[in-house]
Amino acid sequence: MRVVYSPDHLAHDVVTETVMGAAIPANEVAERAERIRAALEADGGFPIEPPTEHGTDPILAVHDPGLLRFVEEAWREARTQAIARPNLTADTFPTFRMFEGMSPEAVAAIAETRSAGGRAGWWGLDTANPLLAGTYAAARAAVDVALTTADLVLGGERAAYGLCRPPGHHAARSMIGGYCFFNNAAIAAEAVVRATGQRVAILDVDFHHGNGTQQIFWRRGDVLYVSLHGDPERQFPYFLGRVNETGEGEGSGANLNIPLPAGTGDEAYLAALDRGLAAIAETPGDIVVVSLGFDTYGHDPIGDFALTTAVYHECGQRVAALGRRLVILQEGGYYRPALGANARAWLRGADGRPYEPRPAAGFGPNGSDR
């Protein structure tokens, strides 16, 4: 299976993030993508190629132009405004409760502020999106990785994998969030719809609900969104991802959320996956975009499922058994010692190759990376 990767992600990297006010070691770090790249290289069956440039038009097909402008300008603007911080992170957000009682017209008249800190809140969901000198280039490269992966599949590959970083599925039309800047999977899905004129399904198996992807296609009947995730009653992004969110208008019935309990293990997960796959099988279309996350792994520091490396191989096999062509894009996954083995297992499954854990080079005991 062909793999698309860009080193441009390396310049977007941080040391800490905050959780409920406390600083902790950052989870979404550059090492993640390098672990996966190393494991796929060691496997030998995943030739890696760079992305081609696709420009900003495919981004503007799903995102607000103001959001693109903000991500491009934010770091330099923060420097210009002499905010003495290594990166720009929002801490004040325009929650809808701030505007309670105001008419829609009065709310619509509220404008994006000029201050860098205000702008970060204006366009942001949470504090998990630090803007650094290299963030824009990294986020643009992740989009190019996704679009190049889609090109491979449109060009006839049965499946291809884009090692996207930063991830994308929490980014909505006008909002960054949850480590995400541009919604790589949504941009790729939209590009596939435009190229083929056919319906596309998005299967989101990251541990978290892809609130951004759901929002972008909420009223669209030509893009089916199916997500398995930790129940938002207890997990980020908290405010979306429930069963009763099924889409509206033309998109009515084209959104399927499958929230799952803490401790979900291999067997229960596979049963839920089969439900999601059945919904996709019922919908016409030839191409599936997969938002692939490994924060469902048993040792993940922010997820609370209990999946094993071996089940990822089975998952990849079952998704491939749909008989559709697959644009597989990386989202989350934060237990770094097993990321490479997990990605390799899933992708070998999707590639119709046996699991074969613990190859000679590049892996430690129990099929983990070193």
Footprint on this chain of ligand Q9C (rule: CB under 6 A): 17-19, 126-128, 167, 170, 178-180, 206, 208, 236, 293, 295, 302, 331-332
Q: Which does 17 bind (CB under 5 to 8 A by kind): Zn ion, ligand Q9C, none?
A: ligand Q9C
Does 170 qualify as catalytic in the annotation? yes
Tokens 């279309």, located at residue: 285
Please give the residue whose beta carbon sits closest to ligand Q9C in the complex. 332
Tell me which DSSP letter residue 291 carries.
E
Q: Which does 106 bind (CB under 5 to 8 A by kind): ligand Q9C, Zn ion, none?
A: none
Minimum Å gap between C-beta 167 and ligand Q9C is: 4
Strand 159-162 to strand 200-204: parallel, antiparallel, or no bridges (unpaired)?
unpaired
Helix (H) or strand (E) holding 3: strand 2-4
Q: Which does 167 bind (CB under 5 to 8 A by kind): Zn ion, ligand Q9C, none?
A: ligand Q9C
CA of residue 27 relative to chain centroid, distance: 14
Of 17, 206, 245, 351, the one binding Zn ion by CB under 5 A: 206
Of 232, 332, 349, 367, the one binding Zn ion by CB under 5 A: 332
Beta-bridge partner residues of 230: 260
Alpha-carbon radius of gyration of the chain: 19
Q: Which of residues 277-316 bind Zn ion (CB under 5 A)?
A: 293, 295
Minimum Å gap between C-beta 291 and Zn ion is: 9
Looking from the CA of 32 toward its CB, the CA atoms found within 13 Å total: 25
Minimum Å gap between C-beta 85 and Zn ion is: 26
Q: Which does 43 bind (CB under 5 to 8 A by kind): Zn ion, ligand Q9C, none?
A: none
Q: Which amino acid is at 231?
A: D
By beta-carbon proximity to ligand Q9C, the closer residue of 87 and 246 is 87
Helix (H) or strand (E) holding 280: helix 266-281
Q: How far is CA 68 from CA 62, 182, 269, 275, in A?
A: 11, 8, 36, 36
* Residue of 12, 63, 169, 170 marked active site: 170
By beta-carbon proximity to ligand Q9C, the closer residue of 69 and 234 is 234
Strand 16-19 to strand 22-25: parallel, antiparallel, or no bridges (unpaired)?
antiparallel
Minimum Å gap between C-beta 302 and Zn ion is: 7
Burial 205-216, CB ≥16 within 10 A → b, else e: bbbbbbbbbbbb
Minimum Å gap between C-beta 252 and ligand Q9C is: 27
Q: Residues interacting with Zn ion, by CB under 5 A?
A: 206-208, 293, 295, 332
Residues involved in catalysis: 170
